[in-house]
Chain A
Amino acid sequence: AQSVTQLDSHVSVSEGTPVLLRCNYSSSYSPSLFWYVQHPNKGLQLLLKYTSAATLVKGINGFEAEFKKSETSFHLTKPSAHMSDAAEYFCVVRITGNQFYFGTGTSLTVIP
């Protein structure tokens, strides 16, 4: 069975401080992993993806994520939060050709 766990439902950070959003997955196979962002009343936008090349993946808007197979983790980070980063973030796993498996999301609040 495959699943995705986002360890925090809500994260609050001050503007200019680092962001860490945590994601763990379980899979019997080598997965592809994605982070998406969703701003209020919008669809999901791809931030970055891991596809078995480099384990440190850089995405848009200064975000990056590191794939750690030993820890089955794919945590999302950003060195310095901006007000525009306030949104919902989803960790997603793709194991087969057809299905995507979503975490329940992490809501990021950025405090001025």
Chain B
Amino acid sequence: DVKVTQSSRYLVKRTGEKVFLECVQDMDHENMFWYRQDPGLGLRLIYFSYDVKMKEKGDIPEGYSVSREKKERFSLILESASTNQTSMYLCASSLSGTGALNTEAFFGQGTRLTVV
């Protein structure tokens, strides 16, 4: 079974803490994504990476950063957590390039983060 694994299902952190969300995929995918999911807003892209050490901002990058030191691992970092970052965070991976246009994204189980 192909897998995208997120390190935590549930996290509770305090305001101002630095928070790391980890994601690992075993499919040798070039692309990896971090989304945030909130009721009524669907999935919003925070950052994505198309190669090791490469990243691009998505729709809502403010307050977040990412790291991709190895192909299989993509980390989302909340530099100073705030209560408005309480949300469900989803990691995904996919093949890259025009030849992969008809292939899907694979998702992790999600991390529900609560900032208090």
Q: Report whether chain A binds chain B.
A: yes
- Do A99 and B112 have beta carbons less than 8 Å apart? no
- With both beta carbons as reference points, the residue of chain B lying nearest to A94 in the complex is identified as B101
Contacting residues of chain A (87-112) with chain B, CB-CB under 8 angstroms: 90, 92, 94-100, 102-105
- Do B109 and A102 have beta carbons less than 8 Å apart? no
Complex Cα distance, B105 from A32, in Å, reads 12
- Do B102 and A90 have beta carbons less than 8 Å apart? no
Inter-chain contacts of A36 with B (CB < 8 A)? 107
- Do A34 and B40 have beta carbons less than 8 Å apart? no
- With both beta carbons as reference points, the residue of chain B lying nearest to A105 in the complex is identified as B42
Binds A, one of B11-19, B67-75, B76-84, B90-98: B90-98
Inter-chain contacts of A49 with B (CB < 8 A)? 102, 104
- Do B42 and A98 have beta carbons less than 8 Å apart? no
For chains A and B in complex, what number of residue pairs have CB atoms within 8 angstroms? 59
Residue A17 interfacial (CB < 8 Å):
no
Contacting residues of chain B (34-50) with chain A, CB-CB under 8 angstroms: 35, 40-43, 45, 48, 50
Smallest beta-carbon distance A15→chain B, Å: 25
Residue A46 interfacial (CB < 8 Å):
yes
- Do A43 and B110 have beta carbons less than 8 Å apart? yes
Counting chain B residues whose Cβ lies within 8 A of the other chain, the interface size class is 20 to 34
Inter-chain contacts of A104 with B (CB < 8 A)? 40-42
Contact flag A32-B102 (CB < 8 Å), given A98-B50, A104-B42: yes
- Do B31 and A98 have beta carbons less than 8 Å apart? yes
Inter-chain contacts of B9 with A (CB < 8 A)? 41
Using A95-B101, A99-B45, A100-B33 as known contacts, list a sample of 12 further A-B pairs with CB atoms less than 8 Å apart, ordered by residue number in A.
Answer: A32-B101, A42-B109, A43-B107, A43-B109, A44-B107, A90-B42, A94-B101, A97-B100, A98-B50, A100-B94, A103-B42, A105-B42
> Chain B: residues with CB nearer than 8 A to chain A?
4, 9, 31, 33, 35, 40-43, 45, 48, 50, 90, 92, 94, 96-102, 104-105, 107-110, 112
User: Could you give 5 example pairs across A and B, Cβ below 8 Å?
Assistant: A43-B108, A44-B90, A44-B105, A46-B104, A99-B45
